[in-house]
Amino acid sequence: MRGTNKTFLLLILLCVSIMGNLFPAGLLLRPEPAKSPVTGTYLAGIPGVPDPDAQYFVFTYDGTYARYQQFHMLEEGRYAAGYDGVYRLTPDGSGSARSVFVADGERVFYPDGDGTALVFIRVSDTPMYINVGHGGPAEAGQ
């Protein structure tokens, strides 16, 4: 009877050990949440060529975006995926929305006010803000 108790106790400890090891393994192997294919930082200009007037687009994981030049925020708001790579932009404080076409996940075509489109090229998969603050109201028009 004494040997049966030891075997039973060892079996329980083995089960606890296995469960204790499976839990962290499950956390490590779980799939990452899907991120938007547009998430990242884009530049309207030539990557690697300094241009103080270059515009940047930043699309974050949580559905917000910003369009800025260094030291000057132009526009902030929310974006939502639309149909066939078209994303809908809604600037903060505005009910009107704009559409932006994203081709192949590497370029963003942004309609300019004069009927042309600015082409932004992906420079990073990570949202980056270079020499500009964000999170508050946009400084557009200042």
pLDDT at 140: 39
pLDDT at 135: 57
| CA 137/CA 75 separation, integer angstroms | 8
E strand or H helix at 7: helix 2-29
pLDDT at 32: 59
pLDDT at 139: 42
Please provide residue 118's backbone torsions phi and psi, each rounded to the nearest 5 degrees: -85, 140
pLDDT at 41: 93
pLDDT tens-place values along the chain, 142 residues long: 566 778 878 788 777 778 777 767 666 767 655 556 889 999 998 777 778 788 999 999 899 999 999 889 999 999 988 888 888 889 887 777 788 888 777 899 888 777 788 899 999 999 999 888 765 444 433 3
Note the Cα 79 to chain centre separation in Å: 11
pLDDT at 101: 80
pTM for the full model? 0.67
| CA 66/CA 3 separation, integer angstroms | 69
| CA 19/CA 113 separation, integer angstroms | 60
